[in-house]
């Protein structure tokens, strides 16, 4: 059909590119993420006063799915958690009624979590995780001696197995929940006092990621229906749920067209020599195998075919993609094309 040929010719101007895997920021639930610490030194065992603390902040996690349940998971740099309150401990004197052999204070301790890539089976995963100290100061005061202050920045824990679960928010909301028992071990040497120490941290890491709701952006121009075409996204943002629907309205009756999408937003006028604004940029993909008709109502409800996307379009959890509808129109009897505005969708596994 002529309108199909026109659209195909216009889309020949658009390029494609593969998507990158982007980290999602998970916020640590402070009340649920409770930890204790203990350890030993060259002077004796460490006793926390008190031994418990919690974490405040966030961590970056990359997951891959490709339209299936989450396949892999990895903690990556970029966010950190603050240990609160500051840690205090002592090395008890073997003689109970005598003062402690040393006191230990660790202040402003901020940690960045990293791991290798782990496989996810259902909701369960295991990775080897370690921590890098973003900031922190240790003060060790031996009995009868002067305090020794050390900078902990750059200190790394030894890799430890982390087994946990990652799942959708209860009730199927637009979010993910991470739940895992976390163990970290730090080997420290204080050059001032000569004290060597092994710190063991144990607790539960509980964090969640809330995907932003789909949002409209850009602008569209009136078409022959007398209104400007609009696009919205409904259904689940989960790739696995596979229920995301693109809804285009205010279209000319019996108009043909199809959806285009990209990771990058943009704005340019006169798309393909037509009347529409292009709200995308960068590598733009087209769903030309799924030509739609607006019917007599001038609207389209299109379930996104995650298993039928262009091969180079790799949609992953945590990534945000932008969608738009391009359709055939006529002005004064002359064939042209027009577009809706854009909608931005952040995906979950």
Cα(42)–Cα(334) distance, integer angstroms: 87
Token pair 């909301």 is at which residue?
173
Query: DSSP character for 237?
Result: -
The whole-number pLDDT of residue 308 equals 87
Residue 13, helix vs strand vs coil:
coil
Q: What angle do CA 137, 142, 143 make, to 5 degrees?
A: 145
What is the enclosing helix (H) or strand (E) of 47? strand 44-48
Residue 278 token pair? 């292009």
In contact, 267 and 277? CB cutoff 8 Å: yes
Q: Torsion over CA of 138, 88, 85 and 201, rounded to 10 degrees?
A: 80
- Averaged pLDDT, groups of 10, the chain, 349 residues long: 33 35 83 94 91 96 71 93 96 93 94 96 94 95 90 94 87 76 89 84 92 92 96 88 92 97 95 93 94 96 90 82 96 92 90
pTM of the model: 0.71
Which CATH entry fits the domain spanning 2-20+212-346: 3.30.70, 2.60.40, 1.10.3470, 2.50.20? Answer: 2.60.40
Domain segments of the chain as ranges:
2-20+212-346, 31-210
Both tokens of 179, joined, read 């739940």
Distant-in-sequence, close-in-space partners of 173: CB < 8 Å, separation ≥ 6: none
pLDDT of residue 62: 87
What is the pLDDT at residue 6?
Answer: 32
pLDDT of 19 reads: 37
- The single-letter DSSP state of residue 65 is -
Q: What is the pLDDT of residue 10?
A: 34
Residue 39: count of CB within 10 angstroms of its CB: 20
In this structure, the strands spanning 72-76 and 52-64 are: antiparallel
The owner of tokens 């050059």 is: 191
């Amino acid at each position: 059909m002529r309108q199909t040929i026109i659209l195909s010719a216009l889309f020949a101007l658009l390029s494609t590119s593969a998507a990158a895997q982007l980290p999602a920021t998970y916020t640590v639930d402070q009340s649920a993420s409770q930890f204790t610490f203990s350890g030993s030194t060259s002077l004796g065992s460490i006793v926390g006063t008190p031994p418990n603390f919690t974490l405040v902040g966030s961590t970056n996690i990359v997951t891959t799915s490709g339209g299936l349940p989450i396949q892999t998971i990895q903690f990556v740099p970029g966010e950190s958690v603050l240990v609160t309150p500051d840690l205090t401990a002592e090395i008890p004197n073997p003689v109970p009624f005598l003062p402690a052999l040393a006191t230990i204070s660790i202040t402003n301790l901020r940690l960045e979590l990293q791991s290798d890539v782990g496989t996810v089976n259902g909701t369960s995963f295991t990775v080897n995780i370690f921590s890098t100290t973003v900031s922190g100061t240790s003060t060790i005061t031996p009995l009868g001696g002067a305090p020794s202050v050390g900078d902990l920045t750059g200190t790394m824990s030894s890799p430890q197995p982390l087994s946990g679960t990652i799942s959708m928010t209860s009730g199927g909301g637009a979010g993910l929940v991470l739940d895992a028992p976390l163990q970290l071990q730090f080997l420290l040497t204080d050059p001032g006092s000569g004290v060597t120490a092994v710190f063991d941290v144990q607790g539960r890491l509980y964090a969640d990621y809330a995907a932003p709701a789909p949002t409209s952006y850009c602008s569209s121009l009136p078409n022959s229906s007398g209104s400007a075409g609009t696009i919205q996204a409904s259904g689940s943002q989960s790739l696995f749920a596979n229920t995301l629907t693109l809804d285009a309205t205010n279209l000319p009756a019996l108009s043909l067209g199809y959806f285009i999408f990209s990771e990058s937003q943009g704005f340019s006028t006169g798309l393909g020599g037509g009347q529409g604004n292009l709200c995308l940029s960068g590598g733009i993909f087209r769903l030309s195998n799924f030509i739609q008709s607006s019917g007599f109502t001038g609207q389209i409800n299109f379930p996104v075919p995650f298993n039928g996307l262009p091969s180079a379009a790799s949609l992953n959890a945590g990534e945000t993609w932008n969608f738009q509808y391009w359709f055939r129109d006529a002005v004064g009897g002359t064939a042209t094309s027009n577009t809706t505005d854009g909608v931005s969708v952040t995906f979950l596994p």
